[in-house]
Structure 1
Amino acid sequence: MKPIWPNLFQITLYNGPGAQQLIRRMLDDLFLPWPHIIAGLAIIICAAYSAWLGGDRFATEAIAIMIVHMSYRIAIHRHYLSYGYADRERYWTRLFFASALISGLAWGTSLSLLIVSAPNEVKYLTLTVACVIIQSATARAFMAPLPLILQTLLLVIMVVSTSVWNGDWIVAPAAVLFIAFQAGHMRHLIAMRFREWQAQKDKDHLVARLAKANDDLSEANEALRKAALTDGLTGLANRRAFDLHLELHCSPEAGTSEPVSLIFFDVDRFKSFNDTHGHQAGDHCLELIGHCARSVLTSTWQMAARYGGEEFALILPMTGADEARRIAEALREKVSHLPIPVGAEETHVTISLGVATADKLTAATPSALLTHADLALYRAKQRGRNRVEVVETASETEIHDALRYLRTT
C-alpha cells in the first residue's frame, strides 16, 4: 500500500492546471508560525494567571512547553524559507504532517497541565483557549484535512480525558457537542472549498477548450485564406494573389525605389498538346511546370503564380532586369529538359518568356509593368518561341499589336 503522507495534498487539493502553484501557496500558509505563536502566548498567559492565583504546580512546565513549541515552529518556518519549495512536495508534506501532530501534542499537554493544577477561574479560561485553538485549526482544515483533523482530535482527547479524570464531567458532553459542531463546520468548509476548486478546474478546462477552438478556427481561417489565394492544380498563387502581390510591390504607395521585375510565360503550342495527349496530360504538364517555376525563386519575397490557363507569372521584387533575365533563362532551360509523361512515353514542351522591369527610371505601376511583360512575351512568340525577351521601351502601336495577339491566342 502506498503511504498516505506523500499523497495528502494530491488527494485533498485541486489537481487541475496550476495545481502545483496552489499547493505551494498553501504550504507557504501552513508553515507560518504566527497562529502557533498566538496560541502559545494565550496558553502562557493562562499559566501566568494560574501561577498568580496560586495554581503554580504545573504552570512553569506549561510555559516551558509552549516556549519550546513556538521556537520549533519558528525554526521549521525558517527552514522552509531557506530551502524553498523546490518541487520537494513529499518532503514538505511529511514535515507539515509531523509538525501538526507535534503542535496538537504540545497544546494538549500544556492545557492538560493547567486543567489539573489551575484554579477554577483559570480552568474555564483554559477551556476557552482550547476551543479557540480548535476553531482556528478547523478554519484551516480545508488546506490539509487529515493532519489538521488528527491535530484537533489529539488536542480534544487530551483535554477531555484530563478534565474527566480531574472530576469535571460536564466537559465531556460539552466537548462532544462542540466537536460535532466543529465537524459540521469543517465538512461544510471543505465541501465549499472543493466546489470552488472544481469550479476553477472546470473553468480552466473550458478556457483550454476555448483556446483550442480558437486555434482550430485560426488554422481553418488560414487554410481558407490560402485556398482562396492558391491555384488548385499547381499549388501556385492564383490570379487574385498575383494581383495583390503585384500591387503591394509595384504601386506608388509601396514607397520603395527598389526595382521590381515581372516574368510572363506560357507553354508553347499548349492547345496542340492538349488535343494530342488529352486534358489530363495537359493538367499534369501544367502541374510540373508549376514546380519548375517555384524552384527558380530565390527569396520569400518572390512569387510564382498561375495567371490563367497555360499562362504563368513570376513577380520578383528587388530584382533588376539582368537578374530577372537570368532567372527567366534558367526556367526556360529547366522546362525544356523536363520530361512530361504521356501514357507509357515521355515528351517535352517549351515555354516563351517575357521580362519587364520597373525601377526609378520607369513608371512603377502594376498596369505599366503588366503591359511591358505582355509585350515581351509577344516578342518571344513572334521571334520563334522557346526564348526570353526583355522589354525596356515600346511604342503604342507595338503594345496594341501585342495585346491583340495575346487575346486571340
Structure 2
Amino acid sequence: MLDELFSIWPHVIAMAGICLTAAFTIWNGGGSYAAPAVTVALAHLLFRWAGGQWYYRRAKRQNPTFWMNFFIISALTSGTAWGASITLLLRGTSPSDRYLILTIACVIIQSATARAFMAPLPLIGQTCILIVQIVGVSLYHGDWIIAPAAILFAGFQLGHMRSLIRFRLRQLQVEAEKDALLQEIARTNEELRLANERLQKTALTDVLTGLFNRRALDRYMEANDPRQNAELLPYSVILFDVDHFKPFNDTYGHQAGDACLAAIGAALRAMPLPPGHMVARYGGEEFVMILPRTDAAAALTLAETIREKLSTLEIPVPEASARITVSLGVSSFGPGSTDTPLRLVRRADTALYRAKQLGRNRVEQEDAAATTIDA
C-alpha cells in the first residue's frame, strides 16, 4: 500500500495538467500568474519525487508507522501546493478559462478519491485543503458559480470516498477472517499431525520399557528383509531374557518386576547403536536386538556388552535393591544367505535356550560348535 501511495505518477499527470492549463490561459491573453503556478507545482513535484526516492531506498530500515506519518505530511503538502497552483491560475483569467482550471482541479481530486481507501484521512484532508483554496479565491473574485460547483463536487467525491473506504474495510475484514481461518486450519492440521505421530508412536512402543513393541518389530523385519536388499548383509540377531524372572517377581512383587523391565529398557535405550539397528521387547521378560550390517563377531561382542551392562543395574525393591542377570542367544548369516529375519530370530531363540541349559548369565551362538562367551 505504501509503495502505491508514494508513486510519483499521479503527481506527474497533475503537473502536466497544470502546465497545459497555464499555457492555455497565456494563449488566451490571461495567465498573469501562470508562471508562479507552474513554479509551485514543479517545486511540489520535486518534493514528492524526493520523498518517494527516500522511501524506496530506506523503507526496509524504518517501520511502517514512520512512513505512514511521512505520507500524511506529504499528502497535506500536496493539497496545499495543488490548491496554490490552481488559485494562482484562477487569478486574472477569463470566466471560460476558470472552468478549464476547475476541471483540472476535479481531475486532481478524482485521483485522490481513487486512492482514498488506502489512506482515508490524509487524502480527505488533501482534498479539503484544495477545495477550501479554490472556493476562497472564487468568492474573492465574486464568482458565485465556481464556488458552489466546487463544494458540490467535493461533497460528491467525499461521499464516493466514503463508499470506497467502506468497501475496502469490508474487504479487509473478509481477508482478515480468511487469514484467521487459514491459520486455524493450519494449527488444527499441525495438532492432528502431532496427534497422529503420538498415536503411531504409542501404537509401536511398549509402555513399560519405552522400547519398540512386537508390532513395530514385525514391521521392521518386513521392511528390512535382506532377501530384498543385499546391502543389509551380514545380518545378526540377539535374543535375551532375564534369568529367574518368575522367582524375582514372586520374591519382590510384580511392581519390582515392572521396575526391573523398565530399568532394562532405559539401559538399552541409552546404548549407542549404529543407525538402522533396532531393540524391541519381544514379550514378557524377553528382548530382541536386530542388527543389519553386523557380522557374528561384532554381534557376540555387543551381546557380551549387554550382559555386563545389565548385570550392574540396581533394581529398586522393597527396603533394598537387587541385581539381575540375563542370558543371550546370537544368530547371524552373511552374504549369499536366503534366510529371513524371522528364521534368524528362531535360531537365536535356540541359542538362548542353550545358554539357559548351560547355566544362564552367558552368551551362546546359534551353532553349538561356535565360540561361547561365559560370565
Normalised TM-score (structure 1):
0.85
Using the TM superposition, give the Cα deviation of residue 139 of structure 1 relative to its aligned residue in structure 2, in angstroms.
1.2
Judged with a 3 Å threshold, the aligned counterparts in structure 2 of structure 1 residues 156 and 45 are, in CA distance, closer, same or farther, namely: same
2:16 maps to what in 1? 41
Q: Deviations over 1:201-222 (max 9, x none)?
A: 1111111111111111001000
SS in 1 for 2:289: strand
Q: Comparing 146-155 with 284-293, which one deviates more in the overlay?
A: 284-293
> Equivalent residue for 1:151?
126
1:365 aligns with 2:340: yes
2:88 aligns to what SS in structure 1? Answer: helix
Match of 1:5?
Answer: none
Residue aligning to 1:132: 107
Determine if the alignment matches structure 1 residue 81 to structure 2 residue 56: yes
Aligned residue type for 1:146: L
| Structure 1 CA distance for aligned equivalents of residues 43 and 368 of structure 2 | 101
Matched, 1:175 2:150: yes
Aligned partner letter, 1:80:
Y
- CA offsets 1:292-347 (integer angstroms, 9 cap, x no match): 23233422422211101111111122222111111111111122232222211222
Counting only pairs closer than 5 Å after superposition, residues 247-258 of structure 1 correspond to structure 2 as 247-258=222-233
Q: Quick check: 1:236 aligned with 2:214?
A: no
Identity of aligned residues (%): 50
SS in 1 for 2:206: coil
Separation in structure 1 between the aligned mates of residue 236 and residue 211 of structure 2, nearest angstrom: 18
Aligned equivalents of 1:320 and 1:141: distance in 2?
Answer: 78
Structure 1 runs, 4 residues or longer, greater than 4 Å off: none
Structure 2: distance between partners of 1:56 and 1:292: 98
Which amino acid is 2:234 matched to? P
Match of 1:293 among 265, 268, 280: 268
Distance 1:247 1:172, change over 3 A: same
Relative to structure 1, is the Cα distance of residues 70 and 380 closer, same or farther in structure 2, using a 3 angstrom cutoff?
Answer: same
Residue 305 of structure 1 is matched in structure 2 by 280
1:274 counterpart residue number: 249
Aligned pair count reads: 369
Post-superposition Cα deviations, 1:9-59, rounded to whole Å, max 9, x if no partner, equal: xxxxxxxxxxxxxxxxx2211121111111111122111111111113212
Please state whether the residue corresponding to 1:252 is helix, strand or coil: coil
What is the one-letter code of the residue matched to 2:347? H
1:387 aligns with 2:331: no
**How far has the Cα of 1:369 moved from its partner?**
0.7
CA distance in 2, matches of 1:209, 1:388: 56
One-letter code aligned to 1:390: Q
CA contact (8 A) 1:325 1:388 kept: yes
Query: Distance in 2 between the 1:263 and 1:358 partners?
Result: 12
What is the 5 A alignment of 1:40-59? 40-59=15-34
Q: Which runs of 5+ in 2 are unaligned?
A: 370-375
CA deviation after TM superposition for structure 1 residue 393, in Å: 7.4
> How far apart, in 2, do the equivalents of 1:78 and 1:335 lie?
74
Alignment TM-score, normalising by the size of structure 2: 0.93
Q: Report the equivalent of 1:339.
A: 314
Letter in 2 for 1:288: A
